[in-house]
Amino acid sequence: MAEDNVIKLFKCLSDKSRLQILKSLIHEDMYVELLAERLDLAPSTISFHLKKLEDANAVTSRKEQYYNIYSINKEVFKASILDIIKEESTEADLQKEREDNYRKKVIENFFEYGKLKNIPAQRKKRLIILEEIAKAFQPEREYTEREVNIIIADFHDDFCTLRREMVGENILTRTNAIYRLVAN
Amino acid sequence: MRALEEKYISFIDERIAEHNIVGEQYKADDRKDEADLEKVKSNIYEVFKTLFLSDIKQLEGKDLAGIKDISIYGGFLQRFETIPDNWKISLDKAIEHGDTTKQVIEEHKLAVAVELKERFIAMFDELGRE
């Protein structure tokens, strides 16, 4: 398990209500209202905790008729803490993890539900958001300027600035008014 | 009006104190996220308390004839429409995108605003014109 996932899981477990939820789910799969009744918590509070448990990969959910049924992810809990501690990380792994975390933070800060809230002033952050937008382009496909604008406009209204930045940062190439994604 | 001010502020202060106590109990019980939700609620009470005091202050020194009472009533009630507007937008977005964490926070904020609005109307009907 990657170190950031381990930390996320341990952070998630360091909460009494979430532990109670897991203790209930170890016996049987349950839906929100049932957990709320058993643990004497509001259904919204249960949903709140289940979301965190799901994000930490501690529980999974499936839809059954009108209900989302939650199950404990036993695989995650089979790993011993000793094994987790013994797992070695190379400096390269740690560096990559730091970069990934930074990238994730920037994306979380500047995007909300897939929309870019504002264009970062700092070049390093701007580059990350441009690379994120670039994921909407298919490799080796040719795009007209209008197509590029439409794709970028899904993220932010100022598609002209972003399009120019993507060309300037060599994420897109422009030849005779045709755009292509630059292969990594 | 003074009676309304005092009673409404005292009600808000009581609610803030209650949520702070519950929040502390949650913290002591290793339920930090639920403690944070209590903090969210008490912050909303604080927001409306500040706005109420600000509206009252604007009327101080002015002629508090009947028409002014109506002004504080309408003016402050309007706050319950304008302030939660963004929370409603945020809630709709959260539901649309399955963001349960945000959804719960926005629901708590809106519930406090509804409670404060209802209490204000009830207290104004009872004391507002005294």
Per-domain boundaries in chain A:
3-84, 92-181
| Closest chain B residue by Cα to residue A51 | B100
What residues of B are in contact with residue A15 (Cβ under 8 Å)?
A: 30-33
Least confident of A61-75, A131-145, B59-73, B111-125: B59-73
Mean pLDDT, rounded, for B49-76: 72
Q: Report the 10 Å Cβ neighbour count for A105.
A: 12
- Nearest-CA distance A158 → chain B (Å): 22
Looking at residue B56, its pLDDT comes to 84
Looking at residue A169, its pLDDT comes to 94
Closest CA to A138 of A168, A171, A181: A181
Q: Which two tokens stand for residue A109?
A: 């800060």
Concatenate the DSSP letters of all residues of A159-180 into one string: HHHHHHHHHHTTSEEEETTEEE
pLDDT bin (cut points 50, 70, 90) of residue B63 is low
B33 close to A (CB below 8 A): yes
Query: What kind of fold does domain A3-84 have according to CATH?
Result: Arc Repressor Mutant, subunit A (1.10.10)
Looking at residue B127, its pLDDT comes to 78
Q: Is residue A181 predicted with pLDDT exceeding 90?
A: yes
Segment B105-116, tens digit of pLDDT:
999 999 999 999
Q: Is residue B123 predicted with pLDDT exceeding 70?
A: yes
Closest CA to A131 of A100, A157, A92, A174: A100
CATH number of A92-181: 1.10.10
Please state, in angstroms and rounded to a whole number, the distance separating the CA atoms of residues B69 and B81.
19
| Closest chain A residue by Cα to residue B35 | A15
pTM of the full structure: 0.76
pLDDT bin (cut points 50, 70, 90) of residue B71 is low
Closest CA to B51 of B12, B70, B79, B72: B79
Nearest to B31 among A17, A52, A112 (CB): A17
B18 close to A (CB below 8 A): no
Size of the A and B interface in Cβ pairs below 8 Å: 38
A51 close to B (CB below 8 A): yes
pLDDT bin (cut points 50, 70, 90) of residue B57 is confident
Cβ distance A16 to B29 less than 8 Å, yes or no, reads yes
Mean pLDDT, rounded, for A73-100: 84
Task: State which amino acid sits at residue A31.
Answer: Y
Looking at residue B64, its pLDDT comes to 53
Task: Confirm whether A3-84 and A92-181 share one CATH topology.
Answer: yes
Please state, in angstroms and rounded to a whole number, the distance separating the CA atoms of residues B68 and B63.
7
Looking at residue A55, its pLDDT comes to 92
Q: Which position has the higher pLDDT, A179 or B75?
A: A179
Mean pLDDT, rounded, for A52-76: 93
Q: Which position has the higher pLDDT, B130 or A84?
A: A84
B27 close to A (CB below 8 A): no
Q: Which position has the higher pLDDT, A97 or B68?
A: A97
Q: Is residue A145 predicted with pLDDT exceeding 90?
A: yes
Q: Is residue A28 predicted with pLDDT exceeding 60?
A: yes
Q: Which position has the higher pLDDT, A125 or A90?
A: A125
Q: Is residue B62 predicted with pLDDT exceeding 90?
A: no
Of all residues in chain B, what percent carry a pLDDT higher than 70? 88
Tokens 């005092």 belong to B6
- ipTM for the complex shown: 0.73
What residues of B are in contact with residue A47 (Cβ under 8 Å)?
A: 100, 103-104
Mean pLDDT, rounded, for B30-52: 95
Q: Is residue A15 predicted with pLDDT exceeding 60?
A: yes
Q: Report the 10 Å Cβ neighbour count for A15.
A: 21
Please state, in angstroms and rounded to a whole number, the distance separating the CA atoms of residues B96 and B91.
9
